[in-house]
Amino acid sequence: MPGKPTVYERVVRITHIYLGPAADRFIERQVQNHLDKPATQLTADDLKELIDWIRVAVALLTDSPEIVEEYVQQLQRLATNPDGNNKRNHKA
């Protein structure tokens, strides 16, 4: 019986919308480099700081601030409701 998805898995699921197969590697790097812990130990309390680092990193990957904001907003929704469902609402 599959368990409840961890915070890390939820974050990767959202990131997958934007970074596809590179999502897990991206999040692992952000958590390890900036939060100094293994990605699997990511908690809801870490999300606020992680989101700030992700905003900076993703801004380097696109010239479109709308995409960055959309991604960050989805993560912020996760941060305010880490146990709830995240509805995908991204622009194509």
Partner 1 sequence: MNQKKPYVSFVILAVLYILLVIVLPYDQVTSRLYHLTDTQYRIFLTLISVPVVLTWFAAFYGQASLDSYASRIKRTAEGNAYKRLSYGLQWLAWGTPIIAITSAVLGGIASGNPEFFHAAVIIKHYLIILVGFAAAAYLSYGSSKLLNLLRGKPAIISVRALLLFYVILAVVFVSNVWSALQSHNNSPYFLPHWLIFVTVVVPVLYGWFMALLAVYELLIYSKHAKGLLYKRSLLLLYNGIALVVGSAGFLEYLLLQGYRLRVIVLDLQFIIGYIALLLYALGFILLATGAQRLKRIEEV
Binding site for partner 1 (CB under 8 A): 16-23, 25-26, 29, 57-58, 60-62, 67, 90, 92
Q: Tell me the closest approach of the beta carbon of residue 55 to partner 1, in angstroms.
A: 11
Q: Tell me the closest approach of the beta carbon of residue 69 to partner 1, in angstroms.
A: 13
Backbone angles phi, psi at 22, to 5 degrees: -85, 0
Residue whose CB is less far from partner 1, 23 or 44: 23
Which of 66, 36, 40 is CA-nearest to residue 53? 36
Residue whose CB is less far from partner 1, 32 or 81: 32
Residue whose CB is less far from partner 1, 20 or 65: 20
Q: N- to C-terminal Cα distance for the chain?
A: 34
Q: Tell me the closest approach of the beta carbon of residue 83 to partner 1, in angstroms.
A: 25
The secondary structure element, H or E, covering residue 10 is helix 7-19
